[in-house]
Amino acid sequence: MKTRTFGNTDIEVTPVGLGTWAIGGWMWGGTDEAQSIDTIHAAIDQGIALVDTAPVYGFGRSEEIVGKALAGGRRDKVALATKVALNWDDDENVVRDARANRIQQEVEDSLRRLQTDTIDIYQIHWPDPATPMEETAKAMEKLLRDGKIRAIGVSNFTPEQMDEFRKFAPLHSLQPPYNLFERDIEDSILPYCRNTDLATITYGGLCRGLLSGKMSRNSRFEGDDLRNNDPKFQGDRFNQYLGAVDALDQYARDKFDKNVLALALRWLIDQPGVTTALWGARRPDQLKPISDIEGWSLSERDMEAIDDILTEFINDPVGPEFMAPPSRQD
């Protein structure tokens, strides 16, 4: 897989990166460590050169698994991205916390769990309105100066919040939600990143599995699965989105001899301003379709046809707002 330069840094990444939220198990019905390690190894073997994780993914579990998977010679094969500035209690209640002391504590915990001396891309997971942006930004800049991180990123920030952050520290990347069904960032956020030379790591590329082509109206989600709280998977909305998936799958097969999963990922990495699209996987076999997104691209006419399908089938769209954690003020 060809690499891309990560914004205005010297870090090289691939157009597809491995997302490890599900590997952490929290809100995904648990995890299998051996299988997860095999999945990370399979991603690297197939050429993926970015692995993205976060402390809150399983409350340290995902980072620990990533650290074990990269130990023994694989660490230098990937750009390693993780996050900071969420806090939790013993009951797994999560709040935003971007205070300087929290950042300093978390980076040491993450370095230990990841078994590394340096984190390539360190990202503020969610903006924290209860902490002055100056305090957060300067804490991140100190980590950059100290060599604990190589690039500063933010996630789920608006252009205004990024402007405020950049008053006090350099900024290299943004991680926003983005997929065929969740496209709010096209209005202002993607143009902002293009105009300021910020790299982007988009998450949710398959929209919690909706765009995998493997769901049906009989699909059920157990335990703490976050899709039980996602409006897209409820009632008539679910039917609308499944109808769109079927139509997109037919278009992909007729036009490219591909399936909807390949179409969804190809659509993402063909978007101007997208550096890397994360692909979440829990088993090695889920990575086999990677080869299906290489060697072809979508034309402007294809993009218009895809938009027409979405307009035809989805009359009650909804975004990823349900995933936002509360602030300490709340």
Q: What angle do CA 20, 24, 25 make, to 5 degrees?
A: 120
What stretches of 1-54 adopt beta strand conformation (E)?
Answer: 4-5, 12-13, 16-19, 50-52
Residues of the chain where predicted confidence (pLDDT) is lower than 70: 24-30, 329-330
Domain ranges, ordered by start, for the chain: 4-323
Q: Burial level of 272, CB count in 10 A (0-12/13-18/19+)? A: exposed
Predicted confidence at residue 32, as pLDDT, reads: 81
Which CATH architecture fits 4-323? Alpha-Beta Barrel (3.20)
How would DSSP label each residue in 67-95? HHHHTTTTGGGSEEEEEE-EEE-TT--EE
Predicted confidence at residue 41, as pLDDT, reads: 96
Predicted confidence at residue 225, as pLDDT, reads: 79
- How far CA 2 is from CA of 8, 79, 206, in Å, comes to 18, 14, 22
Predicted confidence at residue 26, as pLDDT, reads: 54
- How far CA 207 is from CA of 265, 296, 318, in Å, comes to 11, 22, 12
287-309 confidence digits (pLDDT tens): 888 889 989 999 999 999 999 99
Write down the catalytic residue from 57, 122, 192, 241.
57
57 noted as active-site residue: yes
248-264 confidence digits (pLDDT tens): 999 999 999 999 999 99
pTM of the model: 0.92
